Amino acid sequence: MTEDSVRQRRRGRSRWAVLLASVTLIAGSAACRDSGRDAVAAVQEAADSADQLMIGLTQYMTNQGVRQAFLQADSGFIYENSGHIELKKIRVTFFAQTGAQTSVLTGREGTYNMRTGQMEARGDVLVVMTDGARLTTSVLRYDQSKNEVSTDQHYVYESTDRHVDGEGFTSDPAFTNIRTQGVRGRAGRFTLPGQ
């Protein structure tokens, strides 16, 4: 073999090596993209089917002119025909009749029905009351017409003198009037009526 033919053969091998490395790199990067592709595809699909997308959505919830709650979300996919909004990273501040803040709810996502005023928060739902008490659950619903929060899921309520586990409850947003099922835990001190 001549020296030129050896050089050509080496160049041919190096070109194949470069081509093989490129194909491997492209395949590897496509595989990496596929792992996050589902999340991106879900957002794109929601955005494509929504009538509007709002970034930094805010909504006051009122009853006869009295502010009951203030809804904030990082984003909202608005579906006009069904009258609902799919929310991401939500925060709801609840207010008493006097206008004083009673509690703040946060969750990863939720749904708000513009026609009925009902809202559902989902994913790591946390409610913090102004007295420092905390409630955690996976799903929490707010009915604006009744000014009630409720869940049919497991929840944990903790305050300075109470720790309560339960399987569903209904309450006002200030958590002063709670009706619950399957309660376990310690309820602290209380006085019976007429005592």
DSSP string of the chain?
Answer: --HHHHHHHHHHHHHHHHHHHHHHHHHHHHHHHHHHHHHHHHHHHHHHHSSEEEEEEEEEEEETTEEEEEEEEEEEEEETTTTEEEEEEEEEEEE-TTS-EEEEEEEEEEEEETTT-EEEEEEEEEEEETTS-EEEEEEEEEETTTTEEEEEEEEEEE-SS-EEEEEEEEE-TTSSSEEESS-EEE------TT-
**pTM of the complete model beyond 0.75:** no
What CATH class does 52-186 carry? mainly beta
* Residue boundaries of the structural domains of the chain: 1-49, 52-186
Mean pLDDT by 10 residues, the chain (195 residues): 56 43 38 51 58 89 85 93 92 90 94 91 94 93 90 91 88 85 65 42
